Structure 1
Amino acid sequence: MAKLEIACFNLESALIAQENGADRVELCAKMHLGGTTPSLEIIKQARKQLSIDLFVMIRPRGGNFVYTMNELMMMYIEILELKDIGVDGFVFGVLTNGNKIDIEVNKSLVELAKPFPCTFHRAFDEVQNPLEALEELIECGFQTILTSGNATNVNEGISQLDLLVQKANKRITIMPGGSLRSSNLKMIEQKTKAIFFHSSAIIDDSKIANPIEIQKLKAILNA
């Protein structure tokens, strides 16, 4: 049965996600920047109150995915701190100046995170050669790639998502995300045959996950 991850930008959304059947929470801050590392206090509160899996975004700022040495050191430190808290996984992604996978840095972050699994986030949608990047991320040790199919959203990237799932061939999980809602989930699931899906389930300006939307998403995946 396919599973559902909800991107949560506050503790309230994380609790709503759990209460309405989500399989996993991706906890972030600053939605307007596409997600950054949440505060340590929020992560601790989420860990205390959530029984479902809790993955945490490790991203020092918005903007591109090419980081300075100081920013990378922040990422290393945050992963070490959060391993002690007992989160279930990490979400991050580092590119080179040419928008290629920074294999050395990503591999070192994945190694540092062990035994916790890592998701490469939508930095993947910036790469120039997605199929090459797919193989490199498998080599780095990532377990999941969050992607809209190298497009603005999953609707536009649906053919690429289908191809990525085929090429991944169960060696890594391709998780469609990016404007994924109950209105298009069935189409995306049928076309791509993906087994894990990502949505914020936000349907208004509140920045809070909508419980009914989460229920609808789960109902589609459970059908």
Structure 2
Amino acid sequence: MALLEICCYGLDAALTAQQAGADRLELCSAPAEGGLTPSAGVLRAVRQQLAIPVHPIVRPRGGDFCYTAAEFDTMMGDIAFIRDLGFPGVVVGVLDEDGQIDMPRMAKIMSCANGMAVTFHRAFDMCRDPFYALEQLTDSGVARILTSGQQASAAQGVALLRELNARSRAPIIMAGAGVRPENVRLFCEAGLQEVHSSAGHRVNSPMRYRKTGVSMSSGPGDDEYSRYCVSAQTVAALKKALKG
């Protein structure tokens, strides 16, 4: 049966995913940005309260994956902090200006990770040549690649996922983006050993008083009186579908 990784934005979501049967978690903040580095407080609380493996993401900002020297220094500090807390893995990705893996920086990341399993995240889907990127990441020693097959969703990218998986003995190719109970068997049939899902839904705020005309968000139409959470029912349904 394929391993199920759930993307969690915070402690409550992580506890829900663990209880519902997730095998491993990716821990992030900032769902609207596609996942940024969690805070120190969240990292400590998750490390203390979770029993299953948790791999925090290290991503200092949204946008592209070509970082300034200052941003990369921040990333290295975050990786060291996560390592010293005792997490078994970390999720990261760095590209150069030409859309290739930034190998000098990946070498520094691998050295800093010092025994942690490194997942290269969906920065892979922004690479110029996925097969060359696979060769680069194989050489770097990462444990897995999280990818949608360079498409908007993993279901659309399943042909490339299948080919990457066939070519790669290591790293593991893990399907992510739009993985749901109704399509998860597609990735098993493509030969993939791991899948990644947010298993998410929105939950209404408990606030009765709701201030109108004022927003903390820059996105037009964003609803600040709901939040993105892990659905225990969706995690359980994914596990059931994976069992066939």
TM-superposed CA distance for 1:111, in Å, is 1.6
1:143 aligned residue: 143
Whether contact under 8 Å (1:107, 1:141) holds in the other structure is no
4+ runs deviating over 3 angstroms: 203-206
Q: Deviations over 1:118-153 (max 9, x none)?
A: 000000000010001001001111010000001111
2:30 maps to which residue?
30
Q: Secondary structure at the match of 1:82?
A: helix
SS at match of 1:149: coil
Q: Residues of 2 paired with 1:176 and 1:4: CA distance?
A: 10
Q: Once superposed, what is the RMSD of the aligned Cα atoms?
A: 1.0
Alignment of 1:156 with 2:177, yes or no, is no
Equivalent residues of 2:187, 2:195 under 8 A apart: no
Query: What amino acid is the match of 2:164?
Result: L
User: Any idea what SS the aligned residue of 1:216 has?
Assistant: helix
Aligned to 2:177: 178
* Partners of 2:139 and 2:29 in 1: CA distance: 29
Counterpart residue number, 2:13: 13
- 8 Å contact 2:8–2:26 — kept in the other structure? yes
Aligned letter for 1:182? P
Q: For each residue in 1:58-77, what CA deviation from the matched residue of structure 2 results, as whole angstroms up to 9, or x when unmatched?
A: 00000000000000000111
Q: In structure 2, what residue type is equivalent to 1:194?
A: L
SS at match of 1:46: helix
Cα deviation code 1:12-50 (max 9, x no counterpart): 110011001101110001011110101010010011110
Instruction: Kindly state the Cα deviation for residue 159 of structure 1 after the two structures are TM-superposed.
Output: 0.5
Counterpart of 1:216 in structure 2 is 237
> Counterpart in 2 of 1:188?
187
**CA–CA distance in structure 2, aligned partners of residues 222 and 47 of structure 1:** 28
Structure 2, gaps ≥5 residues long: 204-226
Please say which structure displays the higher CA radius of gyration: 2
Where is the helix percentage greater, Structure 1 or Structure 2? Answer: 1
1:222 shift after superposition: 2.2
Letter in 1 for 2:187: I
Aligned residues: 221
Please give the residue correspondences for 1:115-154 in structure 2 after superposition, counting only pairs within 5 Å.
115-154=115-154
Aligned to 1:58: 58
User: Counterpart of 1:181 in 2: which secondary structure?
Assistant: coil
Matching residue of 1:200 = 198
CA distance in 2, matches of 1:108, 1:220: 39
Is 153-162 or 203-212 further displaced after alignment? 203-212
Give the Cα–Cα distance (whole angstroms) in 1 for the partners of residues 84 and 100 of structure 2.
Answer: 31
Equivalent-residue separation in structure 2 for 1:204 and 1:179 (angstroms):
16
Amino acid of the structure 2 residue aligned with 1:208:
C
Deviation at 1:154, TM superposition (A): 0.7
CA displacement, residues 163-208 of structure 1 (integer Å, 9 cap, x when unaligned):
110011x221000000111111012221x21011100001446410
* Partner in structure 2 of residue 90 of structure 1: 90
| Structure 1: gaps spanning 5 or more residues | none
Query: How high is the TM-score relative to the length of structure 2?
Result: 0.88
Give the SS at the match of 1:105.
helix
